[in-house]
Amino acid sequence: MTSTLLTRRALLSGGTLMGLSALLAACGQQANNEAATTASAAPSETASAVASDSASASASTTPKPVVTRGYSGNSKAPDGEYRKADGYGPAQNVPLPKAEPQQYPETTQGLYRMMKDWLVSHNYAIQTGDCSYAFKYVTEESEEYGFYQFIEDLYQNGGWTVDGLDSYQPEGPLLYDEDKKKYRMLHRRFWSTVMYVESNGHLDMQANTDTSDDTFYFLFTYSDGYWKIAGSKTEEELQNEK
């Protein structure tokens, strides 16, 4: 995985690596172009080659399979029928976000409305690899901007994301920092699992087994009627800045 992914606070919050064997069967069926692997390795050896970059894999010369991205559910969904991502391929017929961010007042309710729009574009990006909508809601210095660059790269190289959809709950008042000219509001992120399927057969799955660090401050800017996400900070990080 890339360093961009490793800097995303929301992704690493409470995440631990899990075993990937439950998803190998589905993804293995997508490895139609694994070439010499199927000819030279038993099924268990093939699965090991897909799942691991470990020392045991380095001892084998068996090439890793290349995963071919297909259709979720192993078939093309009818037009208009939403189908979530799985080991066969990315989500299908994901509803489009709003084409452009809307102007909202510089109030708590205005921020809530922007966040609702952003979350639709955010989850659309995760499911499709099209981050063009989500980029419009964040500044370039935010963690989310780097995350969207990672997602774009993942999909452009033949990979996709399974699960990983986010929801957020505000848990504090809207505060303004006069010195930094930024707002902040405490939020809690809700998520369970996420898996990144790469075209080279590597799978990275994370589960939210520790929710103690799912709460943090989103930072916001406001200009000419538009809210933007400008980053995030933990309470400890904010205290250390003083």
Question: Does residue 220 contact residue 107 with C-beta atoms inside 8 Å?
Answer: no
pLDDT score recorded for residue 102? 98
pLDDT tens digit sequence for 216-229 = 999 999 999 999 99
Q: What pTM does this model have? A: 0.78
Written as six digits, the tokens of 195 are 């898996």
pLDDT score recorded for residue 62? 60
Q: How far apart are CA 222 and CA 45, in angstroms?
A: 55
Phi, psi of 96 (to 5 degrees): -75, 145
- At 240 the three-state DSSP class reads helix
pLDDT score recorded for residue 122? 98
Q: Which of 17, 165, 152, 183 is nearest to 82 (CA)?
A: 165
Helical segments of 34-174, H only:
36-40, 43-51, 55-58, 108-128, 143-156
Q: How far apart are CA 46 and CA 214, in angstroms?
A: 36
Q: How far apart are CA 151 and CA 167, in angstroms?
A: 18
- At 122 the three-state DSSP class reads helix
With a cut of 50, list the residues of the chain below it in pLDDT: 1-26, 28-59
pLDDT score recorded for residue 66? 84
Q: How far apart are CA 200 and CA 68, in angstroms?
A: 9
**Residue 153 neighbours by CB distance under 10 Å:** 14
At what angle are helices 143-156 and 108-128 packed, to 10 degrees? Answer: 20
Cα four-point dihedral sign 137, 140, 141, 142: positive
Q: What is the DSSP string of 45-93?
A: HHHHHHH--SHHHHT--PPPPPPPP--GGGSPPPTT--B--BTTB--BS
Domains in the chain, start-ordered, CATH in brackets? 3-18+96-241 (3.10.450)
pLDDT tens digit sequence for 138-193 = 999 999 999 999 999 999 999 999 999 999 999 999 999 999 999 999 999 999 99
pLDDT score recorded for residue 63? 64
Q: How far apart are CA 27 and CA 32, in angstroms?
A: 10
Q: How far apart are CA 114 and CA 89, in angstroms?
A: 30
